[in-house]
């Protein structure tokens, strides 16, 4: 921490995003979230693509063993939770789990490492004031990222529903479930109530997905920042146990996001 910074300034600086613009609509576009998530996505695709091309039926290497372990774990969860048939669900669940895990795992980097590197580049390369160069390295601690992920899942849920039931069947379900009535009059009377309940259920899914992931990762990021403010010896005493515990949080949140996505897609292809 810079000597001239107070604890409040230090925390605020570390929780401020690198923005495309400081005002207007595009101020909500966070460049640090975008670039870190994009790089990690390419890293995931590159490593898994490399292993797939180099895969052998003989004695596999350690990397192939590790990748196969992840794929088998995801495949097992799909077989247990997804009751339909789809060629998309496997790659989608694998991508969600690994990508979210990698974004969560950025929390394990030293708190000041990438922010200070960004400040050095901004100052010496672009002549910027280091105090006005911001860098947050955990994409899933940004609610914009978690909402984007969950909204993507919502679009897939709607797509799965329409594919399984047809457009008319999906619309019919919106109007006739969860409350059923005998006769046309009863169905018409209950249709608005059913539609409201269906919308609540539909939009509650991405909200719960995004806020659960965001809340856990934001809390973890904040705790690491608070620990970094302490003297170095206390930092090590508290930081190491929290980092070990956070491994469970990082992995669990990626697993929960993947599992809820699988369950929601399974519900989407089932008829009431």
144-200 confidence digits (pLDDT tens): 999 999 999 999 999 999 999 999 999 999 998 888 777 777 888 899 999 999 999
Give the Cβ contact number of residue 192 at 10 Å.
10
Q: Tell me: the pLDDT tens digits for 82-91? A: 987 889 999 9
Is-catalytic flag, 136?
no
Q: Tell me: the pLDDT tens digits for 57-96? A: 778 889 999 999 999 999 999 999 998 788 999 999 999 9
> Whole-angstrom Cα distance, residue 262 to residue 95?
12
Q: Which of 86, 208, 235, 266 is catalytic?
A: 208
The answer to whether residue 5 scores a pLDDT higher than 80 is no
Quote the Cα angle for 61-64-69, to 5°: 125
pLDDT-derived band at 123, boundaries 50, 70, 90: confident
Q: For helices 232-268 and 62-81, what crossing angle results, to 10°?
A: 50
Is-catalytic flag, 216?
yes
Q: Which of 150, 194, 216, 266 is catalytic?
A: 216
> Whole-angstrom Cα distance, residue 48 to residue 6?
44
DSSP string, 58-77: SS--HHHHHHHHHHHHHHHH
Residue 102's SS3 state is helix
> Whole-angstrom Cα distance, residue 61 to residue 148?
36
Q: What are phi and psi of 15, to 5 degrees?
A: -100, 10
Taking CA atoms, 244 is separated from 105, 220, 257, in Å, by 12, 12, 21
Is-catalytic flag, 19?
no
Q: What is the pLDDT of residue 3?
A: 44
Residue range 19-45: average pLDDT? 89
Q: Which of 19, 86, 152, 212 is catalytic?
A: 212
Q: What are phi and psi of 110, to 5 degrees?
A: -55, 140
Q: What is the pLDDT of residue 138?
A: 96
Mean pLDDT of all residues belonging to the chain: 90
pLDDT-derived band at 272, boundaries 50, 70, 90: low
Q: What is the pLDDT of residue 89?
A: 94
- Decide if 109 contacts 181 (C-beta within 8 A): no
> What 8-state DSSP symbol labels residue 147?
H
Q: What are phi and psi of 30, to 5 degrees?
A: -95, 115
Of 77, 50, 82, 89, which Cα lies nearest the Cα of 66? 50
Residue range 240-249: average pLDDT? 90
Domain boundaries, the chain: 7-268
Taking CA atoms, 75 is separated from 71, 94, 162, 177, in Å, by 6, 8, 24, 31
Q: What is the pLDDT of residue 2?
A: 43
Quote the tokens at residue 6. Answer: 């107070």
Higher pLDDT, 271 or 233: 233
């Amino acid at each position: 921490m810079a000597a001239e910074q107070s604890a409040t300034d230090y925390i605020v600086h570390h929780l401020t995003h690198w923005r495309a613009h400081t005002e207007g609509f595009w101020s909500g576009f966070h460049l640090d979230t975008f670039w870190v998530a994009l790089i990690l996505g390419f890293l995931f695709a590159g490593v898994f693509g490399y292993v797939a091309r180099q895969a052998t039926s003989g004695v596999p290497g350690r990397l192939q063993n590790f990748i196969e372990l992840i794929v088998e774990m995801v495949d097992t969860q799909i077989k247990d939770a997804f009751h339909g048939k789809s060629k998309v669900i496997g790659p989608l669940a694998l991508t969600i789990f690994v990508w979210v895990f990698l974004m969560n795992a950025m929390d394990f980097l030293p708190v000041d490492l990438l922010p200070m590197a960004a400040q050095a580049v901004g100052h010496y390369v672009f002549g910027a004031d280091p105090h006005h160069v911001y860098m947050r390295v955990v994409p899933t601690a940004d609610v914009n990222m978690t909402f984007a992920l969950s909204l993507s899942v919502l679009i897939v849920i709607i797509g799965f529903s329409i594919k399984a039931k047809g457009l008319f069947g999906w619309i019919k379900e919106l109007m006739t479930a969860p409350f059923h009535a005998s006769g046309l009059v009863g169905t018409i009377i209950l249709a608005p109530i059913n539609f409201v309940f269906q919308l609540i259920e539909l939009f509650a899914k991405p909200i719960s997905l995004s806020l659960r992931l965001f809340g856990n990762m934001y809390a973890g990021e904040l705790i690491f920042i608070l620990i970094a403010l302490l003297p170095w010896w206390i930092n090590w005493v508290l930081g190491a146990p929290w980092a070990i515990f956070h491994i469970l949080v990082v992995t669990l949140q990626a697993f929960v996001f993947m599992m809820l996505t699988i369950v929601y897609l399974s519900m989407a292809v089932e008829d009431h």
